[in-house]
A = this chain, B = another copy of it.
Amino acid sequence: MKVITIGREYGSGGRTIGKLVAEKLGIPYYDRELVDKAAKQSGLAVEAIEENDQVVTRSFLYDLAIGTSYGYVNSAGVPLDLNTQVFLAQREAILEFSQSPCVIVGRCADYILRDRDDVLKVFIYADRKARLERIVKEYGEDPGKAEKLLAQSDKRRARHYEEFTDSIWGARRNYDVMLNSATIGQEQTVAMICDLAK
């Protein structure tokens, strides 16, 4: 059984798919929990790492401005910028969790574990129309804001990925399989990932 990392477009249902895969395989699922743990280990408050996705809040930037250090320093002993500290804390948690089979959604996990042969790297995407529908129906967002939200979320995920990796978010090179959850369907997408993980 492999560790499974899932990258996903906003509104593609990647998170739900990850949960179902973990359930079906009987292995842990990490998403918010991962951030909690990372935060705890590094002294970062949970609220500071926004769920959607890895954005540093104003209050945190304020903390940084007044000189709070979160433990990560460079070779000269100077605290790293907060974004990097958050990333490194998440990275530590991912490295720990991935010691045994589990599902990890987001957080550049595919990149962090890129050199491991026993990791299945998945990317979930979907047609624009299906994503907009999901954002409104399942996430309960305002239909008038869905378009903007979609564009912003993807841009944010791409920017975060590209800030901490030397690669491009969603580029096929980084994944073993990329699945269109809208055309393949949630059930079959889950089944395929489970098959590949075994």
**Chain A residues engaging chain B, CB cutoff 8 angstroms:** 123, 125, 127, 170, 172-173, 175-180, 183-184, 188, 192, 195-196
State A102–B123 Cα separation when bound (angstroms): 27
Alpha-carbon distance A179/B192, docked complex (angstroms): 12
CB within 8 Å for A176 and B172 given contacts A188-B196, A192-B192: no
Report the bound CA distance from A123 to B125 in whole Å: 14
Given contacts A125-B173, A172-B172, 4 further A-B contacts (CB under 8 A): A177-B179, A177-B180, A177-B192, A192-B195
Chain copies in complex = 2
Interface of A is mostly: mixed
- A178 and B172 contacting across the interface, CB-CB below 8 Å: yes
Closest to A123 in B: B172
A/B interface sample: 21 pairs, CB < 8 A: A125-B172, A125-B173, A127-B173, A170-B172, A172-B172, A172-B180, A175-B178, A175-B180, A176-B179, A176-B183, A176-B184, A177-B177, A177-B178, A177-B179, A177-B184, A177-B192, A178-B178, A188-B196, A192-B192, A192-B195, A195-B195
